[in-house]
């Protein structure tokens, strides 16, 4: 292997390493995080997701759980936003005699910024979209393929 081939191989290896590390980082999910109960005077957890802390989460889903009174649905008893690997429920609600608890989960950055009753916002902007995103984004595969193409192009140089 001559010096030029050695330099090209080293550069290619470094680019491949950066691509693989970037792919690992791309799996992180930004989610709003907070919790609130009816005794809290600050209602920003329920009403103002833009004022909330954002967590770069290594889990698979952003989630919301909203518990409200059945007889007075405007009375939120508890509310939480966060991230989980396995949500208690992907989307739905569970009523009992006194309460109704809504569960939502999604897999886009900042998709849990809604009021907790709607289906998931998949745009990351808080806009309403009626969709449940079924799986994790395969962005790491997309990041990797250009480097595979580069490797396939340069490989014949090393076989001379």
Q: What is the pLDDT of residues 44-93, one digit of tens each?
A: 899 888 889 999 999 999 999 999 999 988 889 999 999 999 999 999 99
Class (C level, CATH) for 28-136 = mainly beta
Q: What value, to the nearest 5°, has the Cα angle with vertex 61 and ends 116 and 106?
A: 50
Whose CA is closest to 46, among 99, 129, 113, 134?
Answer: 113
Tell me the domain boundaries of the chain.
Answer: 1-27+137-160, 28-136
pTM here is: 0.59
pLDDT in tens, 81-129: 999 999 999 999 999 999 999 999 999 999 999 999 875 444 443 333 3
Q: Give the model confidence (pLDDT) of 132-142 as tens digits.
A: 333 444 443 33
């Amino acid at each position: 292997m001559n010096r030029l081939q050695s330099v090209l191989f080293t550069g290619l290896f470094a680019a491949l390493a950066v691509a693989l590390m970037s792919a690992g980082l791309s799996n992180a999910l930004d989610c709003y995080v907070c919790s609130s109960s009816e005794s809290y005077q600050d209602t920003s957890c329920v009403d103002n997701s833009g004022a909330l802390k954002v967590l770069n989460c290594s889990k698979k889903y952003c989630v919301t759980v909203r518990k409200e009174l059945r007889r007075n649905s405007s009375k939120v008893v508890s509310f939480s936003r966060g991230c989980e690997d396995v949500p208690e429920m992907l989307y739905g609600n569970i009523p009992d005699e006194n309460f109704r608890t809504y569960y939502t989960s999604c897999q886009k950055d900042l998709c849990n910024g809604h009021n907790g009753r709607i289906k998931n916002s998949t745009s990351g902007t808080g806009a309403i979209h009626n969709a449940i995103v079924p799986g994790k984004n395969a962005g790491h595969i997309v990041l990797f393929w250009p480097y595979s193409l580069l490797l396939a192009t340069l490989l014949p140089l090393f076989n001379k």
